[in-house]
Amino acid sequence: MQGNRYPVRVWDLGVRVFHWSLLVLLTGSWLTGTSEDDWMEVHQWLGISVLALVLSRVVWGFVGSETARFGHFIRGRRAVVTYLRGFFSFRVEHNRVGHNPAGGWSVLLLLGLLVAQAVTGLFSNDDVLFDGPLSGWAGKGLSDVITGVHYFLFNVLWVAIVVHIVGALAHLVFKRDNLITPMITGVKSYKEPVVAPRLRSPWWAALILVLIFSALLWGLGQAI
């Protein structure tokens, strides 16, 4: 206990590294994908890295720490509606551990968009010099269609990310609930004692990431 606050470790290192690594990779993907210079090879590797990172997060959502598991933060419609009503009435919550009901579904949406974005990138082409590693499997016509989907999802993804950021800032301003610092330090302070979640070693998350990245490289190598 620190003063009148109770610090609790709510996020494991694996979740936090995933969150901020994803930000770096997506920023790099945006810069290399929109650059007028030829950065498409780098863009491709960033996309593959994003896919490996997201797939490892999906696995961690089933076998990882308590607050990282989908079963911990995916709630039904009633819970989401109740939460949103409380949010817009500016009711302050101080004892929630992990994602809130609306935040849980936003995580699921972002993961789905990221997988779709990365997979469509594998089948895309730039109509000039670059072809995705699996574009030959699709053929030129279908690859062109998938490329259009890839560009469209890019815009949808960034809208979802902006909404995600605005939601975190709104929590800080209107509900006086800091969601950002705990995603950096792993620790959140509560006004009342709460049950600390069970956290797993980040080495397991690292092992899952290495295995998935290796499997992706092997699979793409076999497919090309």
| pLDDT, one tens digit for every residue, the chain (224 residues) | 555 678 999 999 999 999 999 999 999 999 998 877 778 889 999 999 999 999 999 999 999 999 999 999 999 989 888 888 877 666 656 578 889 888 899 999 999 999 999 999 999 988 777 888 998 888 889 999 999 999 999 999 999 999 999 988 988 888 788 889 999 999 998 888 888 999 999 999 999 999 999 999 999 988 87
Say if 27 falls within a structural domain.
yes
CA-CA distance, 214 to 73, in Å (whole number)?
29
CA-CA distance, 209 to 218, in Å (whole number)?
14
Token digits of residue 2: 């620190």
Number of folded domains that form the chain: 1
Token digits of residue 42: 């780098």
Q: Which domain holds residue 141?
A: 6-223
pTM over 0.85: yes
Say if 181 falls within a structural domain.
yes
